[in-house]
Amino acid sequence: MIDDAAGFTSPILGRGRVPIRAQRGTALRARSWRAEGLLRMFENVLEVGENSAELVVYASLGKAARNWEAAGLIAESLLALDETDTLILQSGSPIGMLPTAADAPLVLSAVNNTVGRWATPELFYERHARGQTIWGGLTAAAWQYIGRQGVLAGTYELLRVIGESHFGGSAAENYSGRWMLTAGMGGMGSSQPISAAMLGLSSLTVECDPAKIARLQSAGGIDAVADSVDEALAMIVGSRSGHVAIGLLGNAAEVFAEIERRGVIPDIVTDQTAAHDARYGYVPIGYSLDGWLSARESDPVRVERDARRSIGVQIDSMIRFADAGAIVFENGNNLRVQAIAALDDIGTAGDTRTAAEARILRLPGFMEAYLRPLFARGIGPFRWIALSGDPADLDRIDDEVAAMFPGRPEVARWIELARRHVTEQGLPARSCWLGHGERSAVAARVNAMVASGDLSAPVLFTRDHLDSAAMTHPRIGTEGMRDGSDGVTDWPLLDAMVLASAGADLVAIHSGGGGYSGWMQSAGVSIVADGAPSTVTRLRRALDGDSGLGVLRHATAGYEDAVASATVGGETGRAPVRWFAPETTTPNSGPDAPLKGQGQ
């Protein structure tokens, strides 16, 4: 590995005039590895993002900073940041620095958090157009995005659990002869065919942008591109003795409807387009790609209406697939919310509307249907990034982690599969679903490896915001909570406070933008293992506090797996939390009642 030129500052200071590549090597530019690690991650999300020239990381609008002036000032501030100061970011723009303490966060960030009556798509778009806010995505403005691998690991876990729930297991033979119909090949959706292939499941993924299809095919994510529905289905049928990943250029709503009309029933049906944003994330029926790009600026209201109506068509097909025996679920992109909004667009009212909404909501969300038992144990999308840029460092960490948890063989299996199937994007990184106690154990071990010189440079630990305590979204991560707390945002706010008090290096609080406006609240964390003895304390406090709060959140909601985890000290037995069971607290009057309009 060759270090980048000593004394080089940051390509972000070029303010969009030079390509962005995250710094590699062992030379420091900032005053500490804590600040250096955050700066390299800021650079990294732009290196692997979908449109770095506009600071867009993924999902059409998810940005790393508000504008290039703000981005440059953030980079300059990180280069000069002392370990006793904290940089304050407000909706992607640096506000100033405050003197804090040596074990306080270096960066505190809040993105697009508004009072309830301001949390609407219309007001977000107005403020966004005026340069007053951004949508930070989940990991874009918190500089935690690692390319498709981050969501790939979650999609793999989801399909693995589906196999165990419906197909008799998650070995390759359990998926043999089965296939998944889905859509979307953006930064998130491109993970789907790869995750399916890792398990031996065939897939047909619909995408309307030929550039995204070509990019994924060149990365090895799909095996072939079909020219028509006929050819695509023939390829799927021809793969019944093995597995194949097929891409198809087309409109998701039209293709889903055509396949359903033919009576062809996939084993699994879902979607991972950017349907959460009806203006910028979903091409309606009847629009060319160029026509849509133009119309969303000239007539955004019409585009949104037409997109919602097309989503309604797609949802109708998905419901019909489910009625015919397919496993169908929404994969976290507000598809059902948009279809319900389409009912209002066409004036559906009264009992007819009530019945139509109930029909749409028959489709479950992926979290409630499959992954909640993992979240109840604090198991979720943890990740680590080798700040050196040296793949050998990632290999050493992978070797270590694969041997650490013999009681959970799925961890070693995932790492082995990821090494074979996940192509490198940006700094060497690994996403791995680890639970309460496991995350801190890995971080402490890695910190020792940095201290001993087994790793050439420090390692940054983070996670997706869609985690056990870190996110509230009543149609995604917290849908169908047993105590009715689907929309309660106390938990991500508490999580951010726990992480800040524990000494994480970056703590972020994000709220939804665009089509997610008014629907979500999340918290993010990054912390660098720099090899210092004092860092172990911060790593354990932050990571155990983060996952431990997730266990408490689910125990409070009535999940037995969470109660058991709290009782035994997490997955390792060495991460105790104290839960005040209902007998020792003032009982609630009952589960939170569903709110009027909760399904809107």
DSSP 36-53: HHHHHHHHHHHHHSSBGG
Of the candidates 432, 446, 499, 577, the residue annotated as catalytic is: 432
- Pairing label, strands 202-207, 429-434: unpaired
The pLDDT of residue 171 is 92
Distance separating alpha carbons of residues 216 and 207, to the nearest angstrom: 11
Identity of the amino acid at 450? V
pLDDT digits (tens, 9 = 90+) for 387-409: 999 999 999 999 999 999 999 99
- CB-neighbour burial class of residue 262 (10 A; exposed 0-12, middle 13-18, buried 19+): exposed
What is 368-423 written as a DSSP string? Answer: IIIIHHHHHTT-EEEEEEETT--HHHHHHHHHHHHTT-TT-HHHHHHHHHHHHHPP
Written as tens digits, the pLDDT of the chain (600 aa) is 334 444 568 999 998 888 999 999 999 999 999 999 999 999 999 999 989 999 999 988 999 999 999 999 999 999 999 999 999 999 999 999 999 999 999 999 999 999 999 999 999 999 999 999 999 999 999 999 999 888 899 999 999 999 999 999 999 999 999 999 999 998 788 999 999 999 999 999 999 999 999 999 998 999 999 999 999 999 998 877 689 999 999 999 999 999 999 999 999 999 999 998 999 999 999 999 999 999 999 999 999 999 999 999 999 999 999 999 999 999 989 899 999 999 999 999 999 999 999 999 999 999 999 999 999 999 999 999 999 999 999 999 999 999 999 999 999 999 999 999 998 899 999 999 999 999 999 999 999 999 999 999 999 999 999 999 999 999 899 999 999 999 999 999 999 999 999 999 999 999 999 989 999 999 999 999 999 999 999 999 999 999 999 999 999 999 999 999 999 999 999 999 999 998 754 444 444 444 334 443
Among 317, 319, 310, which residue's Cα sits nearest to residue 346?
310
The pLDDT of residue 587 is 40
Residue 573 and residue 437 in contact, taking contact as beta carbons nearer than 8 Å: yes
Would residue 480 be called left, alpha or beta, if left means φ above 0 and alpha means ψ between -120 and 50 degrees? left
Tally Cβ neighbours within 10 Å of residue 410. Answer: 15
Task: Give the predicted TM-score (pTM) of the model.
Answer: 0.92
Tally Cβ neighbours within 10 Å of residue 288. Answer: 11
Q: Which CATH class is domain 148-328+330-363?
A: alpha beta
pLDDT digits (tens, 9 = 90+) for 167-188: 999 999 999 999 999 999 987 8
The pLDDT of residue 5 is 42
What does the H/E/C string look like for 361-377? CCCCEHHHHHHHHHHHC
The pLDDT of residue 588 is 44
432 counts as catalytic: yes
Residue 437 and residue 570 in contact, taking contact as beta carbons nearer than 8 Å: yes
